[in-house]
């Protein structure tokens, strides 16, 4: 089933870097993975991708865990390309996307299906044990950070489950190479590429 128009409006209104067509593709991947196990994304930001995945999780009777420390990636900090001054907490001077994430999930009516996990992805992963239907990697995009997420989390993808990676640019002229290196590593490790939409690449275990 497609996303209903009101929910789609909420996804569109959320700050973020995911065009509609990639969001729809992500939703489809979520639908195909939700029967295998719960969905988990690294990188909540303001909740845009969580709406696409959360609606899929709800439809499958499972949940989306959305992991983020909510202080932004390196590329979101002041002076970097993807900085948004509205996301800075005036009290601390640090980025804080948590209030935006909460608003998005609430507006989408997805509080029953999206579980926000507040923390560093490596720390959460070190204590994780539940097999996943889908792992969506969209946290820090520097190669070392993205690769660490892959190494810690990829083993939790259940047999038949999906691995999705965002911002994969095969040509360095189009963007940073971190997520692409992770995609290459996943292929080497035996994940099978099953889909591509824009910079969203999907593989299956």
Task: Give catalytic residues, as residue numbers.
Answer: 141
In which region does residue 198 sit, left (phi positive, over 0), alpha (psi from -120 to 50) or beta (all else)?
left
Q: How far is the CB of 138 from Mg ion (least distance, A)?
A: 4
Residue 159 Cβ, how far from ligand SAH at the closest point, in Å?
25
Stretch that binds Mg ion, among 20-28, 32-40, 77-85, 136-144 (CB under 5 A): 136-144
Question: Phi-psi category of 160—alpha, beta or left, where left has phi over 0 and alpha has psi -120 to 50?
Answer: left
Selected from 62, 97, 202, 204, the binder of ligand SAH by CB under 6 A is 97
> x/- binding map, residues 145-174, to ligand SAH, per CB under 6 A?
x-----------------------------
Closest separation between CB of residue 37 and Mg ion, Å? 23
Residue 68 binds ligand SAH (CB under 6 A): yes
Decide if residue 166 touches Mg ion (CB under 5 A).
yes
Residue ranges in the chain assigned as alpha helix (H) = 5-13, 20-33, 48-60, 98-107, 121-126, 143-153, 178-188
Residues 6+ apart with CB under 8 A from 105: 47, 50, 51, 54, 111, 114, 116
User: What is residue 79's DSSP assignment?
Assistant: T
- The residues binding ligand SAH (CB under 6 A) are 16, 18, 41, 43-45, 48-49, 67-73, 97, 120-121, 138-140, 145
């Amino acid at each position: 089933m497609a996303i209903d128009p009101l929910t789609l409006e909420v996804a569109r209104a959320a700050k973020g870097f995911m065009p509609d067509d990639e969001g729809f593709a992500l939703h489809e991947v979520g639908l195909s993975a939700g029967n295998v196990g719960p969905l988990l994304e690294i990188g909540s930001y303001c909740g845009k991708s969580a709406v696409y995945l959360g609606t899929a999780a709800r439809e499958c009777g499972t949940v989306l865990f959305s992991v983020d420390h909510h202080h932004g990636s390196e590329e979101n900090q002041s002076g970097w390309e993807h900085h948004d001054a509205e996301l800075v907490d005036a009290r601390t001077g640090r980025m804080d996307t948590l209030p935006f994430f909460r608003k998005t999930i609430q507006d989408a009516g997805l509080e029953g299906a999206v579980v926000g996990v507040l923390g560093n992805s490596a720390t959460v992963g070190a204590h994780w044990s539940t097999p996943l239907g889908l792992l969506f990697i969209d946290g820090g995009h520097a190669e070392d950070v993205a690769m660490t997420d892959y190494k810690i989390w990829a083993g939790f993808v259940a047999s038949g489950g999906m691995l999705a990676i965002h911002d994969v640019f095969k040509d360095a002229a189009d963007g940073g190479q971190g997520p692409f290196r992770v995609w290459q590593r996943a292929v080497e490790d035996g994940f099978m590429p099953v889909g591509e939409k824009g910079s969203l690449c999907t593989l299956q275990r």
